[in-house]
Amino acid sequence: MIVFTPTIRYVAATGRKRILLNRHQHSARRGLIVSGPAGTGKTTAITQLGKHYEQLGRRRGEIQPKALPVVYVTVPPAATPKMLAIEFARFIGLLPSRYSQVEVTNKACDLLCTLGCRLVLIDELHNLDIGTRVGAEASDQIKYLSERIPATFVLAGVDVEGTGLFAGRRGGQIASRYSLIPTSAFRHKTADQRSSWQSLVATLEESLRLHAHRTGTLLKLSAYLHDRTGGMIGSLSHLVREAALDAILDGSERITKASLERVDLDESAEQQNLPRARRRRSRNEDHPDAGAAADATARPGRDHRFLPEPARRRQPPDHRAPLVADRPVATAPP
Ligand SMILES: Nc1ncnc2c1ncn2[C@@H]1O[C@H](COP(=O)(O)OP(=O)(O)OP(=O)(O)O)[C@@H](O)[C@H]1O
Ligand SMILES: [Mg+2]
């Protein structure tokens, strides 16, 4: 279930306005870059934008039945310009491997123009290493594609503003055409921030279909849940879904603090609160069910140099707005 967080709503509203503004623009179309720490809902936000844009357009008959209004591709690691063009071609269903870079690019662009593509979503932008020649060429390729395809480009990646994407002559052009939408972990300091987090927890709890679960249990644990997950929506979603799965498998059909404690989270969430994670893990090892399972899941000593940087806490757009579960976005049509 997707919760309509302030970030999702902001990306949806801004994205739709960009599509409208770009509609009659022949060049220098304006785009968006969604950037923030891992697991803060970037992919979800841009794919929801694509989904709702297409659904609304089809419902209103503004999109032809055979059109392909939205394209979603991810930047492969160490992407070259040809690899990027191949990703577009694959999405359309072309088998491009025997073509040259120029041919694949031309075929993909021509077909996307014919199919009425209006929104291009490019994810995992941090895979572009602008500091290398290949990375810089791939970023030029994105610019070239955005000139050839009359669509709004929405890019997303982990903290991309720190990758040099906006630096130098190349970066200057990107900076002048794209607006940055930051994503971040939910905070839990002020009353407004706590209320926003509680709305998220309550919406997730309402989506549970456990026979013996008492609604309100998770809401009461919202401070604990924030502590466990560092306010990361991805970690919260994982924690609640895994605890729900455990409740179904063990037949208890309810989530409690003890069952949440037994869920192992991703490293970046656990790193937010190392002493608690250690205490929790040692308690889990004492748990009667832990025995063989603990042996099976035991991990060798971790080298923390390889762990991601702790999340930078930036305020996403208006966290105070109430949250709504998976509902079409009511914004002006293009
Ligand atoms: N609005 C939301 N409602 C419910 N679940 C969400 C929402 N946003 C994100 N999630 C969940 O959080 C997890 C991470 O989300 P997502 O993949 O969008 O984050 P990301 O910022 O793109 O992560 P990464 O940086 O690793 O690519 C997913 O499992 C997703 O289901
Ligand atoms: Mg993602």
Q: Output the CA 43–ligand 2 centroid distance in Å.
A: 4
Average pLDDT over residues 308-316: 43
Mean pLDDT, the chain, whole residue set: 83
pLDDT of residue 233: 94
Tell me the domain boundaries of the chain.
3-184+314-325, 191-286
Q: From the CA of 7, give the closest atom in ligand 1.
A: 1
Residue 238 CA, ligand 1 centroid: distance in Å: 10
Nearest CA to ligand 1 atom 28: 234
Average pLDDT over residues 46-74: 95
pLDDT above 70: percentage of residues in the chain? 79
pLDDT band at 296 (very low <50, low <70, confident <90, very high): very low
- Using the mean position of ligand 2's atoms as its centre, give its distance from the Cα of residue 157 in Å: 7
Which band of pLDDT confidence, cut at 50, 70 and 90, is reported for residue 166?
confident
CA of 41 to the centre of ligand 2 (A): 7
Question: What's the number of CA atoms in the CB half-sphere (13 Å) around residue 47?
Answer: 11
Find the ligand nearest to 38 CA: 1
Among 1, 10, 43, the mutation site with the greatest number of ligand 1 atoms within 8 A of its Cβ is: 43
- Give the model confidence (pLDDT) of 66-86 as tens digits: 999 999 999 999 899 999 999
Q: What is the pLDDT of residues 186-204, one digit of tens each?
A: 999 999 999 999 999 999 9
- Residue count of the chain, please give it: 334
Instruction: For the full predicted model, state whether its pTM sits above 0.85.
Output: no
Task: Tell me what the mean pLDDT of segment 231-246 comes to.
Answer: 95
Closest ligand to C-alpha of residue 160 is 1
pLDDT(123) > 80: yes
Distance 5 CA to ligand 1 centre (A): 11
Residue 186 near residue 197 (C-beta atoms within 8 A) = yes
Please, which pLDDT band fits residue 318 given cuts at 50, 70 and 90? low
* Nearest to 262, CA basis, from 239, 237, 295: 239
| Confidence (pLDDT) at 163 | 75
pLDDT the model gives residue 83: 92
Coil, strand or helix at 33? strand
- pLDDT value at residue 280: 63
Tell me whether residue 249 is exposed, middle or buried, using C-beta atoms within 10 angstroms of its C-beta: 0 to 12, 13 to 18, 19 or more.
exposed
Least confident of 14-23, 47-56, 169-178: 169-178
Ligand 1 is surrounded, with C-beta below 6 A, by 2-3, 5, 8, 38-44, 158, 233-234, 237
124 C-alpha to ligand 2 centroid (Å): 6
Choice between 89 and 314, residue whose per-residue pLDDT is larger: 89
- Residue nearest to ligand 1 atom 16, measured at CA: 41
Q: Secondary structure of 89-142 in the HEC alphabet?
A: HHHHCCCCCCCCHHHHHHHHHHHHHHCCCCEEEEECHHHCCCCCHHHHHHHHHH
Indicate the pLDDT class of residue 334, thresholds 50, 70 and 90. very low
Looking from the CA of residue 5, the nearest atom of ligand 1 is 1
Point out the least confidently predicted range of 128-137, 248-257, 325-334. 325-334
Return the number of other C-beta atoms located less than 10 Å from residue 289's C-beta.
Answer: 10
Please name the residue whose Cα sits nearest to atom 11 of ligand 1: 234
**Whether the Cβ atoms of residue 74 and residue 87 lie closer than 8 Å to each other:** yes
Distance CA 212, CA 141 (A): 54
Domain 3-184+314-325: which CATH number of 3.30.1780.10, 3.40.50.300, 3.40.50.1820, 2.40.50.140: 3.40.50.300
Could you tell me which residues are beta bridge partners of residue 179?
A: 32
- Give the pLDDT of residue 332: 36
